[in-house]
Amino acid sequence: MKKFSEVRLGLSLALLGTWFALTATPNAQTSSAQTARNPVVIELFTSEGCSSCPSADRLLQKLEARGSIAGAQIIALEEHVDYWNHDGWVDPYSSREWTERQEAYVAVANNDPYTPELVVDGRRQFVGNDASQAEAEIVKAARDVKTQVSIAAGPPAARGERSFSVSVGRLEDSHLGDTAEVWLAITEDGLRSSVDRGENAGSVLQHVATLRALRKIGVADASAVQASFQGNSVVRLNPRWDLKNVRVTVFVQYKRGREILGAAATRING
C-alpha cells in the first residue's frame, strides 16, 4: 500500500500533467492558425511623372515590409504606366503593357485609368494612397476561398536562366465561360530614380516589387479534380537585375472577370 504522501504526490503530478495538456494544445493551435496565411495580390499602378504617386509608392513599401495583415500574405506588384511620360519625365520602369493591364481592370469597373490606383486580387479597385481602405480590402480578400498555387526551383537550366516548377490545385471559384490563365511575373525591389523633370522634379523616388516581366505560362483546367495546371517555366535573367532583390510570382487570373484566384511567390535564388 502506498503512503498518503506518495498518493498525494501522484495526484499532484497527474493534475500538473493535465494542466499542461489543456494549456499547451490551444497554444499550438493558435500558433498554427497564425502561420496560415492566404496570399493576396496587391497591384499598384503608378508613375514617376505623377505627383500623387510617391505617397502610394511608400504605402506599397510599408505593406510589403509588413508581409502579412490579419491572415493575408501580401504579394505586391508595382506596375508603372506610360501615359505620364509626355509630361516632362519618362519613367524608366514604365511600359505600355502595364498600361494595357490597367485598362483591362478599369474596363471591368466601367471606369477610366488613373494613378495611383490599387487593385486587390483583381476584384477591388480604389485610390492607391488610401492606407485605411488598402488594409480593409486586403483583410477582406484574405477571407476569400483561394486556389492553391505552388512554385519551386525546377530542373537545371542554361546559363543565365532559372527553371521553376509550377503547380495549381483545383479551381476553387469556377466561372463558366471564362478562362483561368496562369501568369508568371518577375519583380525587383530596391529600384530608385533621381527625377529632374516633371511633377516630381527634384525628388529621389524609391520602389519595391517593380514589375520587370510578365507572361502567361498556361491555362488551368476548370474540370480538373486535383491539379488544374502543372508545368515548368524558364526565366531568362536580365544582367541589369540585382538578383538578390528579384522575386518570381505565379498567379491564376480569370481572363475576362479579372479575379485572381490564387498566387505564390519565391526569390529568384530561393
Each residue of 119-176: pLDDT tens digit?
Answer: 999 999 999 999 999 999 999 999 999 999 999 988 888 889 999 999 999 998 778 8
Number of domains the chain contains: 1
Yes or no: say if 64 and 43 are a contact pair by the CB < 8 Å rule.
no
In this structure, is residue 6 part of a structural domain?
no
Check pLDDT > 90 for residue 32: no
Distances from the Cα of 175 to the Cαs of 20, 105, 171, 181, 259, in angstroms?
48, 17, 9, 12, 10
Mean pLDDT of the region 26-36: 40
Q: What is the pLDDT of residue 9?
A: 38
Those residues whose C-beta lies under 8 Å from the C-beta of residue 143, and which sit 6 or more positions away, are 38, 71
Q: Does residue 19 belong to any structural domain of this protein?
A: no
Give the pLDDT score at 17: 41
Average pLDDT over residues 97-115: 96
Position 15 in a domain: no
pLDDT at residue 22 is higher than 80: no
Q: Is residue 250 part of a domain?
A: yes
The predicted pLDDT at position 154 comes to 85
Residue 14 lies in a domain: no
| 23: confidence class by pLDDT, cuts 50, 70, 90 | very low
pLDDT band at 18 (very low <50, low <70, confident <90, very high): very low
pLDDT in the model for residue 175? 82
Nearest to 249 by CA among 189, 185, 190, 188: 185
29 falls within a domain: no
pLDDT at res. 36: 67
State the pTM of this model. Answer: 0.86
More confidently predicted of 206 and 6: 206
Strand partners, 231: 166
Domain-embedded: residue 23: no
* Residue 154, domain CATH: 2.60.40.10
Residue 263 domain-assigned (yes or no): yes
Buried/exposed code over 167-194 (b: 16+ C-beta within 10 A; e: otherwise) = bbbbbeeeeeeeebbbbbbbbbbebebe
Q: Is 136 helix (H, G, I), strand (E, B) or coil?
A: helix
Range of the domain at 157: 37-267
Q: Is the pLDDT of residue 191 over 70?
A: yes
Kindly state the percentage of the chain with pLDDT values over 90: 80
Nearest in space to 100 (alpha carbons), one of 240, 211, 261: 211
